[in-house]
Amino acid sequence: MLTGKALLAGVAGWPVSHSRSPLLHGTWIARHGLDAAYVPLPIAPENFPTAVRGLMAAGFRGMNVTIPHKEAAFAVCDEVLPRAHRAGAVNTLVFRDGRIIGDCTDGFGFLASLPGYDPRRGPAVILGAGGAARAIAAALLDAGCPHLTLVNRTPERALALAQALGGPVHVSATPPLEGAALLVNGTSLGMAGQPPLELDLSPLPAHATVADIVYVPLETKLLAAARARGLTGVDGLGMLLHQARPGFEAWFGVAPVVDEELRRIVAADIPPR
C-alpha cells in the first residue's frame, strides 16, 4: 500500500507497454517492502522535455528512458555523468535538488552480466555501432580491454564511433574472430521479428565468450551456435537486469540484487521466440 510519502519513479517511452522495467523494479520494491512505485510513462516525443520537468515538479525521484527519447534525455539534463558522456547516451535520469542528472548504465549492466569475465583477457569484437554498442565499447575500453574491433554494415558510422571513443579501437568489414576473447552482438539481428545473425563461429578460440544484447528470444541462433561449440554464451537479459541497479539505488535508497529468482520472474514474461 502506498502512502503520501511514497517514492516515485518510472520508465518513459513511446510506446512503453513492451517494457519489462515496471516488472523488474516492482519486484525489487516488493522484495524490500518499500513505500514506492515504478510506473510506465507513455510520453510522445514532442512532450518529452515538458513531461520530464513536470514529473520532477510532481515529486518523482527520476526515471528510465527508452526509445525514442534517449537523445532528448541527453539534451534535457542539467548535468551528464562522465560515463554517459563517454557512451554518448542517457538512459537514467535522477532528479536532485531541482536538477536533472543524466547517467548511462548500459555499459555497467553489460559488464555485470558477464560473471568472471575480465576485459583485460584479450581482444573484443563488437557487431554494430549504435547506442548500445557504443556504451558497451566504452565500458570495455575503460575496464582495460586491450584491443576492440567494430564491425558495422555502415563503415562510416563505425569509423565515427572509433574516433569518438579513442584508444585501441579499429574498424573491420568482417569480424576478426581468431584470437578474440569476446564477441558481442550489439545489433537487433536475431531479435524476434528481425533476420537472424548468420556468423561462422569456428575461428573463435575455445575460451571465448559470446554475448548477445538481444533478450527476445533469450536463446538466439547466435547463442545456440556458441553453446553448440562449447563456448560461453551470455544472453541479453542479464544486461537488462543489471543496468537497472544504479537507478533503483539512486531513487529508492536501496542497493538491489540480481539473483536467479529475479531472472526467473522477468524471463517468464518474455516470449520463447
- Active-site hit among 70, 83, 134, 242: 70
Cα–Cα dist 102/71, whole Å:
11
Cα–Cα dist 98/197, whole Å:
45
CA atoms within 13 A on the CB side of 169: 23
Among the listed residues 120, 129, 114, the one whose alpha carbon sits nearest the alpha carbon of residue 168: 120
Cα–Cα dist 61/55, whole Å:
9
Q: Which residues, 6 or more positions from 256, have their beta carbon under 8 angstroms from its beta carbon?
A: 28, 31, 32, 244, 245, 248, 249
Q: Phi, psi (5° rounding) for residue 37?
A: -150, 145
70 labelled catalytic: yes
Give the helix/strand (H/E) hosting 149: strand 148-151
Give catalytic residues, as residue numbers.
70
